[in-house]
Structure 1
């Protein structure tokens, strides 16, 4: 069979998706969201490794502990700033066009985010005992539980900032893009307290004050963009100012270069976000706004647009299940001992090369899992009364399983 015969169905599918896309759809924003989404599994798969203990149990490890030169990869792969930017942009437009109350609008968004989270945690809560009975070491199960739960913090934060959308809209209409400046200042003050001359007398919980303003910053920029209060001049200011602040924090104030946590490191930029995260988000946001028109033209091609649509339709599935895909390869490999790029220590360039070779396998496993897991992302299609009762019962059971699994992942059970 010729290559053209194989590719013909794909071209037809891409053209069909292109024809069905409404003319008013903002392809550039969808493209930015897809790019930010793909950066999450790419970063976790590339910068997350394992080691084996004497009993064959898997434990988390990171190549950044031994290969600090890889830190700049995180500057590219840490795209949560872009995700919150386009989230704020989309929420501003959606909130403006909502047919009902703000409460109903928020409820719809929370349900769409919550169903996939309950789905993955409930499935893991049911699967973990079976895997243990099948011989998977408890250490591997706890490591897997931690990896599955860790990315889900994002959903909770995203729900909170989404709930603040009406207030963000008011701030954007009054102050434009400058409405995000107090959030930047707030994070800077907390960083000064926890890393400055008074650091020894500052309680450790103070850093938690950065969680909300740290992630709301890019969301507020997105809302201002959606309200048409940030143009090209503002985008250039964000790009240049963010880049300069980023460089100054690294060179002058000696912030850690890694955008993700490194085992054993005294400081981290990501949990909770430091000022370096906001500087990167500002630069990325400026670049995204400036590239919007060019990206929209590129995505006018059906072959490029179709993957964007597929990724956006499976956004929560990708977020919730990508670590499971990696574990689906690593856990069986742990029974074979040291497998390069999977269960060997991530401490060499050879490991990086082997891990890159494994990433297409993770992608195929994720696609296979998504075929079944995506049902959690789809709205239920049941009758009103009986369907509502069944959904309530299923939701309660899934919630209890999710709480139990979360407690296990956090070492509380």
Structure 2
């Protein structure tokens, strides 16, 4: 008699739980998963593709419904991703150096998995863009689609650059890049003397702040909750002050038509908001570790971590594929209509499961680019999950395989 699906899932989750080394900090994986899913959900909630006069253009509910700004506070989680990235890269580089692994080999391994899934995205959209041009798609529609599809790449480029700079910035005090952001914003918005390109200095400097906080975490500088509470309270107070009295937008993502975008490039308000997020993330570590002792919760987090870049790269494509596929049915609420009221918000919430289903199809088709193909050779079993791998150490467990979560 076939094993019930729920029982099989629980059995596999328990098996993964037993294979995970006790030394692994599951809170780090949980924070990374929450950061990725927050960005995905945020984009799905505040990105609208409006069908008008045979074309598609982007719009945002935040433009006409500014009271939805708190959505951006919950879902703009990039600072947490950079915090975790700095933590993991700093520990990984120190471990590699201790084992005598050259910097170049360490960096190649770090960047390989990060950038490997990009090729599939670029290949698909090259074919799609060519097909759309040949079928007479308006250029402004094509521009809208390509801008959304390729927008995640800016994040990967910045993250890759900071990863490569880990040996140089691992001991950098976060106050230094924070000071750069402060001075850039004073020139841009206070004195109005900076050139147009000056704001883009904040792109590396702004995300370097949470990255170096992650490095400090890896060095053990956040063992107590006091430092995390200081980050949370100080970052929150600074952000509130900047929004109320310095003219920064309340939304932590860009809003079409707004004079200032907090994210493109990052402003001082986005960075102080990121400090608050990092403080909250550090405060939640113990609770997340406790939650990750549940096998099903840990299995879900491990699955997201294994496919983090695939999910991140393809979530906008999933939204656009759903929107395009539904066009023959007319202008559907929450999908092709102007985001100007509660009705649109309710309809968009109803579309989220459809976006998730299409993203799952993309994940099934392209996750191998991130995880690598399954092996079917000697010593491996067909269909074996890449969630675990064999690791041989020099300790008491040397000589027998110790499977670890990747």
Any conservation in 1 of the 2:121–2:313 contact (CA below 8 Å)?
yes
**Worse-superposed segment, 350-359 or 115-124:** 115-124
Task: Tell me the distance in 2 between the aligned counterparts of 1:286 and 1:375.
Answer: 35
- 1:390 maps to which residue? none
Cα shift at 1:220:
0.1
- 8 A Cα contact 1:317 1:374, kept in partner: yes
Query: Residues 30-49 of structure 1 correspond to what in structure 2 (within 5 A)?
Result: 30-49=29-48
* Alpha-carbon contact 1:169-1:227 (below 8 Å) kept: no
> 2:298 & 2:111 partners in 1: Cα distance?
27
**Aligned equivalent of 1:8:** 7
Q: Mean alpha-carbon deviation: is it higher for 37-46 or for 117-126?
A: 117-126
Deviation, structure 1 residue 170: 3.3
Aligned to 2:288: 295
Alpha-carbon distance in structure 1 between the residues aligned to 2:271 and 2:204: 12
Structure 1 contact 63–346 (Cα < 8 Å) conserved: yes
- Aligned match for 1:185, one of 146, 168, 179: 179
Return the TM-score normalized by structure 2. Answer: 0.87
Between Structure 1 and Structure 2, which shows a larger proportion of helix residues?
Answer: 1
Which among 257, 273, 280 is matched to residue 280 of structure 1? 273
CA distance in 1, matches of 2:72, 2:170: 31
- Find the counterpart in structure 2 of residue 393 from structure 1: none
Aligned to 2:81: 83
**In structure 2, how many angstroms separate the alpha carbons of the residues matched to 1:140 and 1:9?**
45
Instruction: Tell me the CA shift for residue 381 of structure 1.
Output: 8.4
8 Å Cα contact 1:50/1:346 also seen in 2: no
1:304-336 CA-partner distances (Å, limit 9, x unpaired): 111100000000100110011111110122233
Once the two structures are superposed, what CA deviation does each residue of 1:137-163 show, in whole Å capped at 9, x if it has no partner? 554333221101112100000011111
- Cα distance in 2 for residues equivalent to 1:94 and 1:181: 23
Matches within 5 A, 1:147-162: 147-162=148-163
Match of 1:263 among 248, 253, 256: 256
Structure 2 distance, partners of 1:132, 1:185, is 46
Could you tell me which residue of structure 2 aligns to residue 406 of structure 1?
none
Write the deviation string for residues 55-85 of structure 1: whole angstroms up to 9, x where unpaired: x221111111100111111011111111100
CA distance in 2, matches of 1:335, 1:57: 13
Q: CA offsets per residue over residues 153-187 of structure 1, 9 Å max, x none?
A: 0000001111121122233xxxxxxx101111110
Q: Counterparts in 2 of 1:384-403, with a 5 A limit?
A: none
Q: Secondary structure at the match of 1:335?
A: helix
| 2:209 equivalent in structure 1 | 217
Distance 1:92 1:378 in 2: 22
The two structures have a TM-score, normalised by structure 1, of: 0.86
CA offset digits 1:232-275 (Å, max 9, x no partner):
22112111111111111111212101111111111110011001
Structure-1 separation of matches of 2:11 and 2:146: 40
1: CA distance, partners of 2:12 / 2:373: 26
Q: Secondary structure at the match of 1:170?
A: coil
Structure 2 equivalent of residue 105 of structure 1: 106
- The number of equivalent residue pairs is 371
- Larger RCO (alpha carbons 8 Å, 6+ apart): 1
- Counterpart residue number, 1:392: none
